[in-house]
């Protein structure tokens, strides 16, 4: 709504009415946590049959007893499963423990301390920079902050990151060593990168020989509907273009089986995999291979994974659709309130011009916690104070219903407050 | 045997006889791998009941559903279990995934990149050195090699590392930042550090404010007999002396439940734990907490762990005793062949003056693989070419019987070869 067309008195009255309604709404004292993409309890129950059969799986693998030391690349059945998910060769896969973030952190740590392949360690280079399409995943940006890697914020478009901005930067600056991408059902925008963007990322000219694409395919199988977004296989493109060493890809079953107790994997060229395994030798005696066998036997293959994902989608979809429905009713056609309409992933991205922080604040007063405004941007700086990440997975449908009512009221209040402040300042 | 008292012809004849006997012995073509301290299959079967009950444990913890994200310090029941094992407060424990080596690597990596507490990162200091009691655990030394940390080799005595050598070094050189210790049933000597050595390590003057004791209590509950070696609690000593920030301790259930699929933990002062958790935030979304709950519920407490360890001991003890018996029969009183008589742990340490490499070589020809000679020393340099690490856990008793016969013959042959070479060189 454009409150600017009302007189200040009218807006003040409307605000008072809204505040009263908010008080009434939030009287019940409900608490809803929508800060992170946590699976709901019902989702965590889906794979309990995997645990029921834990003692029955075949741990006597060709390469040795999975219950013993060794096999640091992961067990063959788990490698094969992820090779199918990534659509690469098994030799291009490492399967680790539950956290894909740990694998990402490790390869960056290896690069900082020891260098990428035969290149100079990043620690010994004056400055290291990463391209950070934003809004994006806060934990990617945290890793950069931790290592003192300078982040270059680049806007996301409907097709993926803005390649017109990225290409000249990476082509000219050898200090730019990487780009963070969540290419499918992106966190938080829900965008799946277009074929053209995938091709440009895989083939663009890079000034740094040790430039790497951190292709975090976290939502590779996380569709909400039967027809899923198609993401072009970046390895196919890079293989043809002779740039395959540039690609590091990541995925996990954290949102397939159990959050943090799943298995995570990395795909990369054989050259990269060999080098990373060499570094890994020093930091592990191997992953939890019992968990890997459990996963591989229970999930079987990509189609087995997709069967499980349908059950997740059935739980998630109503919450996404409730958001869409209620927000459309409240703000359809409102130029000040825009949100994404993802067909998969875990997030909805909400844009509310100049009001994000205040909205999160008001919602918190109503017991509804959203991710801190700005969290989805490098250095937590959202210049436009506009983006809020909505994580519908954890609350129940009833909690979600309440949370959206709170959000809608918070948006209206924050907008009116802003109009009043601006008008008075004139 | 002192072959020096025979004529060279007599020794040559004896060697020929021994070689013939060796050929006959090894004709069956048996292959025995004694390179590493891997649990035997029978040991890995002990904890299968833990997996049988995997779906029945209570994952709904006070701090949140263990099947979901979060709780990066580990789940409370697992923290409590390790607090009892380490004999420290729960606030002084972090429980991670299966590999304690990973925790050790990580704290060193944090020290290299970010510094210990408020001290300068080790990467920014000119040289970093570690005290490495030897023979010791090869994977400790590997971490140092990986990070370019200079290793100062210090001999092990029957009471632990030689403190008379260590104290003046750490008191005077601020580049010395750490010492590796396996204080109980040490790898490979089987030595348990004396109270006096524990006290000296905890209280010695150190020049570096960021000096850390890497107290790898890998065999804390790994006794072969009912009466176990008593190791003084270094945290108690350090707490009293005001040096508690100096101690990092590590342990895991790799040799309690499943090798690599267990749970590993670290104990340290609250100040250290808080700082390490801060760094860990960037590299993980949390450990496999399903596995942690499984372990805590199945093992229950220290006495539950000890029940399991008795079953391990029953499998391991006959192999250790067979070694003792056969080696005594062959070499009792022989000043050239000495071995340890451990009451726990996973290894026997064999000392064979100037012959280690050749013995490992001959045994390999007989199908018996030992850890490479020298592997238990920094830079793999055993000046005396003397030490061989024997790992009796993996082979069956029958395989072990064969392996010892091969070893005994290899020792004799190598000794005679050496005498002949030396005599001819005169």
Q: Which residues of B touch A260 (CB under 8 A)?
A: 68-70, 285-289
**pLDDT score of A160:** 98
Residues B56-67 as b or e (16 or more Cβ within 10 Å = b): ebebebeeebbb
Token pair belonging to B246 = 């100096």
Give residues 66 to 95 of B whose Cβ lies within 8 Å of A: 66-70
Mutate to test the interface with A, among B283, B284, B395 (most CBs of A within 10 A): B283
**pLDDT score of B24:** 97
**pLDDT score of A336:** 94
CATH of residue B15? 3.90.1150.10
Query: Alpha-carbon distance A107 to A50, whole Å?
Result: 30
Nearest to A146 among B66, B282, B285 (CB): B282
Tell me how close the Cα of A281 comes to any Cα of chain B, in angstroms: 9
Strands A264-268 and A247-252: antiparallel
Token pair belonging to A358 = 């205040």
Q: In sequence order, which ranges of B115-162 are alpha helices (DSSP H)?
A: 138-147
SS3 B241: helix
User: How many other CB atoms sit within 10 Å of the CB of residue B303?
Assistant: 9
Nearest to B260 among A39, A258, A289 (CB): A289
User: Are B283 and A101 within 8 A, CB to CB?
Assistant: yes
Question: Which positions of chain B have pLDDT values less than 70?
Answer: none
For A69-187, where are the E strands, in sequence order?
93-95, 129-134, 150-157, 160-161, 176-181
Query: Alpha-carbon distance A15 to A18, whole Å?
Result: 5
Q: Which of B147, B125, B94 is nearest to B279 (CA)?
A: B94
Q: Which residues of A touch B125 (CB under 8 A)?
A: none
Query: Alpha-carbon distance B188 to B183, whole Å?
Result: 11
| A288 shares contact with chain B (CB less than 8 Å) | yes
Do residues A315 and A296 share a domain? no
Work out the burial of residue A303: count CB atoms within 10 Å of its CB; fewer than 13 is exposed, 13-18 middle, 19 or more buried.
exposed
Do residues A314 and A254 share a domain? no
- Give the ipTM of the model, two decimals please: 0.96
Do residues B181 and B221 share a domain? yes
Do residues B156 and B293 share a domain? yes
Q: Which residues of A touch B279 (CB under 8 A)?
A: 146
Structural domains counted in chain B: 2
| B41 shares contact with chain A (CB less than 8 Å) | yes
User: φ and ψ at A146, to 5 degrees?
Assistant: -55, -45
Do residues A290 and A343 share a domain? no
| Secondary element (H or E) of residue B295 | helix B289-299
Do residues B316 and B289 share a domain? no
User: Are A68 and B289 within 8 A, CB to CB?
Assistant: no
Helix, strand, coil percent values for chain A (each to nearest 5): 50, 15, 35
Decide if B218 contacts B251 (C-beta within 8 A). Answer: yes
**pLDDT score of A225:** 97
Do residues B23 and B102 share a domain? no
**pLDDT over 90 for what percent of chain A?**
97
Nearest to B68 among A44, A114, A291 (CB): A44
Helix, strand, coil percent values for chain B (each to nearest 5): 50, 15, 35
The answer on pLDDT for A4 being more than 90 is no
CA Rg, chain A, in Å? 23
Residue at A39 is within a domain = no
Token pair belonging to A286 = 């191997």
- A74-92, pLDDT tens digit by residue? 999 999 999 999 999 999 9
| B111 shares contact with chain A (CB less than 8 Å) | no
| A396 shares contact with chain B (CB less than 8 Å) | no
Tell the residue number behind the tokens 């608490």, with chain if given.
Answer: A31
Query: Alpha-carbon distance A67 to A61, whole Å?
Result: 10
CATH of residue A66? 3.40.640.10
Do residues B131 and B253 share a domain? yes
Residue at B206 is within a domain = yes
Do residues B225 and B312 share a domain? no
Residue at B317 is within a domain = yes
> Of the residues A300, A321, A344, which one is the last residue of a structural domain?
A300
Compute CA distances A155 → A131, A136, A339, A384, whole Å: 10, 10, 16, 12
- B104-131, pLDDT tens digit by residue? 999 999 999 999 999 999 999 999 999 9
Residue at B44 is within a domain = no
Query: Alpha-carbon distance A284 to B143, whole Å?
Result: 10
Mean pLDDT of A191-219: 98
Residue at B382 is within a domain = yes
Decide if B250 contacts B217 (C-beta within 8 A). Answer: yes
Q: Which residues of A touch B121 (CB under 8 A)?
A: none
| B63 shares contact with chain A (CB less than 8 Å) | no
Nearest to A99 among B65, B284, B291 (CB): B284
> Of the residues A273, A300, A327, which one is the last residue of a structural domain?
A300
Residue at A147 is within a domain = yes
Nearest to B101 among A101, A109, A285 (CB): A285
Do residues B22 and B56 share a domain? no
Do residues B318 and B261 share a domain? no
The answer on pLDDT for A321 being more than 90 is yes
Tell the residue number behind the tokens 């570094």, with chain if given.
Answer: A279
Confidence band, pLDDT 50/70/90 cuts, at residue A178? very high
What order of strands is seen across the sheet that includes strand B247-252?
Answer: B93-95, B264-268, B247-252, B212-216, B176-181, B129-134, B150-157, B160-161
Confidence band, pLDDT 50/70/90 cuts, at residue A5? confident
Decide if A217 contacts A251 (C-beta within 8 A). Answer: yes
Decide if B39 contacts B259 (C-beta within 8 A). Answer: yes
Do residues B112 and B251 share a domain? yes
Tell me how close the Cα of A19 comes to any Cα of chain B, in angstroms: 33
B-chain residue closest to A263, CA distance: B288
User: Are B98 and A101 within 8 A, CB to CB?
Assistant: no
User: How many other CB atoms sit within 10 Å of the CB of residue A86?
Assistant: 24
User: Are B284 and A69 within 8 A, CB to CB?
Assistant: no
B-chain residue closest to A282, CA distance: B143
Domain that holds residue B341: 3-30+307-425
Decide if A344 contacts A224 (C-beta within 8 A). Answer: yes
> Of the residues A262, A279, A300, which one is the last residue of a structural domain?
A300
User: Are B51 and A290 within 8 A, CB to CB?
Assistant: yes
User: Are B291 and A123 within 8 A, CB to CB?
Assistant: no
**pLDDT score of A426:** 81
* Residue B150, beta-bridge partner list: B129
Decide if A105 contacts A99 (C-beta within 8 A). Answer: no
For A25-69, where are the E strands, in sequence order?
32-34, 60-61, 64-65
**Chains A, B: CB pairs < 8 Å:** 155
Confidence band, pLDDT 50/70/90 cuts, at residue A318? very high
Tell me how close the Cα of B279 comes to any Cα of chain A, in angstroms: 8
User: Are A146 and B260 within 8 A, CB to CB?
Assistant: no
Residue at A166 is within a domain = yes
Residue at B391 is within a domain = yes
Q: Which of B322, B321, B258 is nearest to B291 (CA)?
A: B258
């Amino acid at each position: 709504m454009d409150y600017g067309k009302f007189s200040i008195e009218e807006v003040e009255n409307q605000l008072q009415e809204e505040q009263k309604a908010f008080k009434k709404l939030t009287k019940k004292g409900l608490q809803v946590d929508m800060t992170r993409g946590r699976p709901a309890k019902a989702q965590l129950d889906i794979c309990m049959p995997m645990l029921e059969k834990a003692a029955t799986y075949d741990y006597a693998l060709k390469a040795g007893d999975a219950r013993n030391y060794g096999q640091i690349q992961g067990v063959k059945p788990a490698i094969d499963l992820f090779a199918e998910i990534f659509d690469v060769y098994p030799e291009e896969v490492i399967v680790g423990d539950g956290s894909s973030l740990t694998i990402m952190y490790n390869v960056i740590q290896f690069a900082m301390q020891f260098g990428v392949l035969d290149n100079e360690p990043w620690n010994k280079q004056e400055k290291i920079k990463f391209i950070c399409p934003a809004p994006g995943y806060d934990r990617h940006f945290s890793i950069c902050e931790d290592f003192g890697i300078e982040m270059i914020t680049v806007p996301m478009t409907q097709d993926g990151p803005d390649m017109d901005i990225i290409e000249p930067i990476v082509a000219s600056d050898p200090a730019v060593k990487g780009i963070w991408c969540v290419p499918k059902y992106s966190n938080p925008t829900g965008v799946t990168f277009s074929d053209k963007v995938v091709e440009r990322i895989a083939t663009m000219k890079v000034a740094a020989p040790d430039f790497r694409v951190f292709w975090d395919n976290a939502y590779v199988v996380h569709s909400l509907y039967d027809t899923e977004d198609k993401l072009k296989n970046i390895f196919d493109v890079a293989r043809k273009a002779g740039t395959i060493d540039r690609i590091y890809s990541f995925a996990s079953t954290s949102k397939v089986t159990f959050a943090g107790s799943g298995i995570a994997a990395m795909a990369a060229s054989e050259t990269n995999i060999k080098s990373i395994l060499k570094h890994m030798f020093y930091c592990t005696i191997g992953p939890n291979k019992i968990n890997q066998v459990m996963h591989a036997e229970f999930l079987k293959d990509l189609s087995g994974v997709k069967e499980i994902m349908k059950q997740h989608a059935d739980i998630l979809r109503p919450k996404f659709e409730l958001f869409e429905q209620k927000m459309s009713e409240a703000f359809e056609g409102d130029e000040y309130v825009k949100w994404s309409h993802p067909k998969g992933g875990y997030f909805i991205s909400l844009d509310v011009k100049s009001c994000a922080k205040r909205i999160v604040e008001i919602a918190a007063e109503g017991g509804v916690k959203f991710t801190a405004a700005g969290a989805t941007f490098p250095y937590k700086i959202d210049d436009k104070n506009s983006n809020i990440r909505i994580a519908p997975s954890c609350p129940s449908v009833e909690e979600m219903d309440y949370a959206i009512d709170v959000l809608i009221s918070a948006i209206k209040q924050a907008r009116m407050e802003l109009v009043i402040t601006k008008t008075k300042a004139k």
